[in-house]
Amino acid sequence: MTEKQNWSVSPGQALRGEIEIPGDKSVSHRAVMFAALADGVSRIDGFLEGEDTRATAAIFSQLGVRIETPSSSQRIVHGVGVDGLRAPAGPLDCGNAGTGMRLLAGLLSAQNFDSVLVGDESLSKRPMRRIMDPLAKMGARIDSEPGGVPPLRIHGGQPIRGMDYTLEVASAQVKSAVLLAGLYAESETVVREPHPTRDYTERMLSAFGVEIEFSPGHARLRGGQRLRATDIAVPADFSSAAFFIVAASIVPGSELRLRAVGLNPRRTGLLIALRAMGADITEENRSEHGGEPVADLVVRHAPLHGIEVPVEIVPDMIDEFPALFVAAACATGNTVVRGAAELRVKESDRLASMAAGLRTLGIRVDETPDGATVLGGQIGSGAVDSHGDHRIAMAFSVAAQAASGKIEISDVANVATSFPNYDALARSVGFGSFTGS
């Protein structure tokens, strides 16, 4: 847990060394969920010890699943089978995690008991109609607060019907909620996506023995199947690595190796964008880790120039825009982002949070409804608000490494939701000090 509420981050030195990034958040959430639903005992290695994923594990304990923690980043999950979850005694707290809440809504809407999903202040403002509407078409009954926000009151005991559904927003969370409800349907469920999104649900259901047909932009499964316990090795989270990739790119003299980072193509749009900007990133020791491509990333400082980010890679880098905006602020010329309105409904409005902070630091940013244009320049010192958003906080700590002085960042405790001990790891490779209160 990050104890400090605020950081004052100083510029540091050239970034050097070799580091291991914690486990992938998306994969860790799903590993606990599917292991809980499986018949038999599954072991998870590389589990992310973040607040979001721990919240999901705690919820499954409330649902009657025994989960052991033999050591940090390991879990042994005693699966109860698709029909073995028990009614919880109270509300289920998803914390800050949109993934946790949306996937659980799909799963819980097909159980024979009622449940209530709650979240923290940020999650309590995030849109849930995107899952409530398709799940209602399948027969689910979910009530929200006015405006379609949590808490979600899920009425169990509803018969779930399969359906053929085309996503209205490019969202792996919505796709996954529908597929999880579809596991309980009598007929088949098909999900079609205008833009392919991350496919961990499909890959992992298949690893748990579910017959599921999938290709980019399409998934199909038959209801009534059981899951078979399996062991899961969680790769290092590319989205957490992104902050170090950008930091090493923008700080002169840097050469940093990030060991065995997950490189699922639906996650690595940032590599395409940064390379187009002139970044020097090489991949070494390519291998597979739990069915996912992984490689060491070696990042060396390189001068960056602005680009127009191709709209088609936006879903493949949706969590990486805070980091990309910092790279853009250090590049020569304009970087133009379009087609990224989804950023407005993440843990904060990330277009507004980044634009406001960068402007405070002397960088010109012109915001549009679905993107922004950033004109690179010298990042100054100043005080910025992370809006309680872990990725905004980390992005500005990276900005501090190229800044003319300290950057004060408020409301950073949520860094622990995805990246426990981020500040210590950053310091160990050459970031300046993180002081604060």
- Provide the minimum distance between the beta carbon of 395 and ligand S3P in the complex, in angstroms, as a whole number: 14
**CA triple 420-102-137, angle to 5 deg:** 170
In the complex with ligand S3P, the residue whose CB is nearer, 39 or 342, is 342
- Provide the minimum distance between the beta carbon of 201 and ligand S3P in the complex, in angstroms, as a whole number: 7
Q: Which of residues 291-320 bind ligand S3P (CB under 6 A)?
A: 318-319
Q: Which of 171, 230, 254, 397 binds ligand S3P (CB under 6 A)?
A: 171
Instruction: Verify whether residue 164 is a known catalytic residue.
Output: no
DSSP summary character for residue 414:
G
Contact at 8 Å (CB) between 227 and 205?
A: yes
Q: Which secondary-structure segment (H or E) carries 59?
A: helix 51-62
Q: Which secondary-structure segment (H or E) carries 31?
A: helix 25-37
Give the residue ranges of the annotated binding site.
25-26, 30, 98, 126, 171, 173, 319, 346, 350, 391
Q: Which of 2, 96, 189, 197 binds ligand S3P (CB under 6 A)?
A: 197
Across 217-337, where does the E strand assignment appear?
218-222, 227-228, 232-233, 255-262, 280-289, 292-300, 334-337
Residues contacting ligand S3P: total by CB under 6 A: 11
- Provide the minimum distance between the beta carbon of 54 and ligand S3P in the complex, in angstroms, as a whole number: 16
Q: Which of 54, 126, 195, 198 binds ligand S3P (CB under 6 A)?
A: 198
Three-state SS for 303? coil
Which of 99, 98, 101, 106 has its CA nearest to residue 82? 106
Q: Which of 10, 99, 111, 268 binds ligand S3P (CB under 6 A)?
A: 99
Give the residue ranges of the annotated binding site for phosphoenolpyruvate.
25, 98, 126, 173, 350, 391
Q: Which of 28, 158, 173, 414 binds ligand S3P (CB under 6 A)?
A: 173
Cβ burial, residue 364 (10 Å; 0-12/13-18/19+): middle
In the complex with ligand S3P, the residue whose CB is nearer, 145 or 168, is 168
Write the interaction track for ligand S3P spanning residues 3-42; mark x where CB under 6 A is met and - where it is not.
-----------------------x----------------
Which of 319, 308, 420, 425 has its CA nearest to residue 374? 308
Three-state SS for 66? strand
Catalytic choice (24, 120, 319, 349): 319
Distance of CA 417 to the CA centre of its chain: 10
- The pairing of strands 149-155 and 141-145 is antiparallel
Active site residues: 319
Catalog residues that contact ligand S3P under the rule CB under 6 A.
26, 99, 171-173, 176, 197-198, 318-319, 342
